[in-house]
């Protein structure tokens, strides 16, 4: 009899599960809290370290009486908590701190050779006689940029009482692994929210034929950053990078949506740090409905995100095959000003 009851219970559970409607996550940027989402803010000249991370100095509906003793970030934290308290079912609010890695050797090489020569010729090589830019490491400038951001976090934690990230994620590329470590190590973090980032494959830079976007092995990452957690399913070797080919921007946005879905469906944290790349953060901003806001190396952008769980299947998205990148057999002059691969020595698309 007990076996019959058990089987009946299992069948009932399976039947109930089959009736559960599929769900999908929809994202939108909640504007009016950060200067970076204001269309009048000039992204080129913006400095997050002189503007309190861009947090707008304003009153909130959640402000208590006599709130002058609270910092803007303390009041913002109350505001986010209030938004989550009164949010309808299926809606929650998250704050993303997205930081671009510091300057890397690949950035220096592109600046030295010029973008046309870099894209056409040098980017598909591992380096030159002086430096290696495959899976580029931070330059001395990049290290100093990350250390400066660490100092800024210390100041914000001590003076502004900024809510620190509760979880940390990073791209698997070395420049981001280094940047995350330099940015968050040594901060006065709560014991329950230590800096132990999770390495996630899909937070990597746009997948191109450039060797700077080819990651190291799982073993290398584990040995170089033993305190980091590597997500389940992370392959030993890079299965996504392909020489002379790259993903489209449409596919990158699909990838960004996928990794955000993964994070938001499994992580209950309200404040989340992501250390990534200019192209990938730009893609995430598109997925979140945020205005275009390019980041310089080492820069950080916070975004207040509304996450809504709705019924229905996610829209069908068919990934495209990687496209061939444009290369040339010898580099154009450093003074070249176009990247259209029309040089006499160009092989065209290969």
CATH number, residue 306: 3.40.50.1240
Burial class of 338 by CB neighbour count within 10 A (0 to 12, 13 to 18, 19+): exposed
Q: Would the pLDDT of 342 be above 80?
A: no
The dihedral region occupied by 312, where left means phi > 0, alpha psi between -120 and 50, and beta the remainder, is left
Domain of 139 in residue numbering reads as 22-349
Q: Would the pLDDT of 334 be above 80?
A: no
Task: Give how many domains the chain has, as a whole number.
Answer: 1
- Tell me if 47 sits within 8 A of 41, measured CB to CB: no
Residue 8 included in any domain: no
Residue 1 included in any domain: no
Phi (first) and psi of residue 7, to 5 degrees:
-65, -40
Residue 100 included in any domain: yes
* Cα–Cα–Cα angle for 101, 143, 136, rounded to 5 degrees: 55
- Tell me if 222 sits within 8 A of 213, measured CB to CB: no
Q: Give the Cα separation of 78 and 303 in Å (integer).
A: 16
Q: Give the Cα separation of 281 and 94 in Å (integer).
A: 16
* Residue 313 falls in the annotated catalytic set: no
Quickly state the pLDDT bin for 343 (edges 50, 70, 90).
very low
Q: Which helix (H) or strand (E) holds 60?
A: none
Phi (first) and psi of residue 314, to 5 degrees:
-65, 145
Mean pLDDT across 6-33 = 67
Residue 10 included in any domain: no
Q: Is the pTM of this model over 0.85?
A: yes
* β pairing state of 91-100 and 300-311: antiparallel
Q: Give the Cα separation of 256 and 261 in Å (integer).
A: 8
Q: To the nearest whole number, what is the mean pLDDT of the chain?
A: 91
Helical spans, DSSP H, in 215-292: 218-224, 249-266, 278-287
Residue 2 included in any domain: no
Instruction: Tell me, rounded to whole angstroms, the distance of Cα 167 from its chain centroid.
Output: 13
Q: For the chain, give me the number of helices (H) and strands (E)?
A: 9, 11
Sequential DSSP letters for 76-132 = HHHHHHHHHHHPPTTEEEEEEEEEEPPPBHHHHHHHHH-HHHHHHTGGGSSB-SS-B
**Structure confidence by residue, pLDDT tens digits, 175-233:** 999 999 999 999 999 999 999 999 999 999 999 999 999 999 999 999 999 999 999 99
Catalytic member of 79, 101, 137, 156: 101
Per cent of the chain over pLDDT 70 is: 87
Catalytic member of 156, 201, 205, 280: 205
Q: Would the pLDDT of 349 be above 70?
A: no
Quickly state the pLDDT bin for 331 (edges 50, 70, 90).
confident
Mean pLDDT across 12-25 = 60
Residue 5 included in any domain: no
Helix (H, G, I), strand (E, B) or coil at 164: coil
* Residue 101 falls in the annotated catalytic set: yes
Closest CA to 317 of 343, 285, 287, 275: 287
Quickly state the pLDDT bin for 348 (edges 50, 70, 90).
very low
Helical spans, DSSP H, in the chain: 2-19, 72-86, 105-113, 115-120, 140-155, 174-184, 218-224, 249-266, 278-287
Quickly state the pLDDT bin for 347 (edges 50, 70, 90).
very low
Identify the residue with better confidence: 318 or 243.
243
pLDDT the model gives residue 145? 99
Q: Would the pLDDT of 5 be above 70?
A: no
**Structure confidence by residue, pLDDT tens digits, 57-97:** 999 999 998 888 999 999 999 999 999 999 999 999 999 99
Residue whose pair of structure tokens reads 């953060």 in the numeric block: 281
Residue 15 included in any domain: no
Quickly state the pLDDT bin for 337 (edges 50, 70, 90).
low
Residue 150 included in any domain: yes
**Structure confidence by residue, pLDDT tens digits, 283-296:** 999 999 999 999 99
pLDDT the model gives residue 320? 78
Q: Give the Cα separation of 169 and 271 in Å (integer).
A: 11
pLDDT the model gives residue 7? 39
């Amino acid at each position: 009899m007990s076996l019959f009851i058990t089987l009946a219970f299992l069948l009932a559970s399976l039947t109930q599960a089959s009736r559960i409607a599929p769900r999908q996550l929809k994202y939108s940027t909640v504007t009016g809290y950060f200067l970076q989402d204001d269309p009048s803010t000039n992204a080129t000249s913006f400095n997050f370290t002189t503007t309190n991370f861009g947090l707008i100095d304003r009153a909130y509906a959640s402000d208590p009486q006599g709130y002058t003793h609270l910092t803007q970030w303390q009041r913002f934290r109350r505001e986010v908590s209030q938004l989550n308290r009164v949010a309808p079912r299926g809606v929650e609010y998250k704050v993303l701190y997205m930081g671009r890695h510091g300057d890397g050797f690949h950035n220096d090489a592109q600046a030295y050779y010029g973008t046309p020569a870099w894209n056409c010729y040098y980017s598909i090589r591992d380096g030159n006689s002086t430096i290696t830019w495959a899976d580029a490491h931070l330059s001395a400038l990049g290290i100093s940029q990350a250390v400066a951001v660490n100092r800024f976090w210390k100041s914000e934690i001590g003076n502004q009482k900024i809510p620190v990230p509760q979880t940390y994620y990073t791209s698997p590329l070395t420049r981001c692994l280094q940047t995350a470590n330099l940015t968050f190590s040594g901060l006065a973090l709560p014991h329950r929210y230590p800096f132990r980032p999770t390495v996630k494959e899909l937070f990597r830079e746009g997948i191109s034929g450039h060797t700077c976007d080819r990651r190291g092995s799982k073993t290398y990452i584990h040995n170089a950053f033993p305190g980091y957690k590597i997500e389940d399913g992370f392959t030993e070797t890079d299965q996504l990078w392909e020489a002379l080919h790259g993903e489209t921007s449409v596919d990158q946005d699909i990838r960004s949506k996928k990794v955000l879905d993964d994070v938001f469906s499994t992580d209950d944290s309200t404040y989340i740090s992501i250390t990534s790349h200019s192209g990938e953060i730009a893609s995430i901003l598109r997925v979140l409905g945020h205005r275009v806001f390019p980041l310089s190396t080492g820069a950080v952008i916070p975004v207040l995100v509304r996450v809504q769980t709705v019924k229905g299947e996610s829209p069908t998205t068919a990934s495209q095959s990687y496209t061939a990148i444009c290369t040339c057999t010898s580099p154009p002059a450093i003074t070249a000003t176009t990247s259209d691969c029309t040089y006499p020595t160009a092989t065209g698309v290969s």
